[in-house]
Amino acid sequence: MSVSSVGGSLGGLRIRFPRVPDCPLTGRLRTDVERAVATLGLSAPVVAIAGPYPSPTLLIDNLDVIGQPCDFDPACRPDLPTTDEIVAGPWPPATAWTS
């Protein structure tokens, strides 16, 4: 998945989206990530990774947006972050963004 919008870019920031294949919650989180990145006015790649992960998870520079450890068994997780939680997530300071 790649998210693009008008505004600054986050340089080397990594946004990852680990998930188990066929998790029914993936679409909802994908939509919320797109909304949050657009709200922030950023252009940033989001890399979807299929595998044995708590699913779906949103990692910004390897930090889970809702602060949960990613060390539990692979399964669909019911504690998805909201768009507001993603916007308020662990983004680097605006001074690190380039336009």
> What CATH number does the domain containing 11 carry?
3.40.30
Which structural domain, as residue segments, surrounds residue 63? 1-68
pLDDT at res. 7: 38
**Do strands 15-19 and 42-50 pair parallel, antiparallel, or not at all (unpaired)?**
parallel
Whether residue 4 is contained in a domain is answered as: yes
In what helix (H) or strand (E) does residue 53 lie, and over which residues does it extend?
A: none
Mind listing the pLDDT tens digit for each residue in 43-78? Answer: 777 888 888 888 888 888 888 888 766 666 787 888
> Number of structural domains, the chain?
1
pTM: 0.73
Whether residue 73 is contained in a domain is answered as: no
Across 36-40, 41-45, 49-53, 77-81, least confident range: 41-45
Mean pLDDT of all residues in 21-26:
86
Residue 95: pLDDT above 50? no
Whether residue 90 is contained in a domain is answered as: no
Whether residue 84 is contained in a domain is answered as: no
Whether residue 20 is contained in a domain is answered as: yes
Question: At 93, which amino acid appears?
Answer: P
pLDDT at res. 23: 86
Residue 43 CB coordination number (10 Å):
19
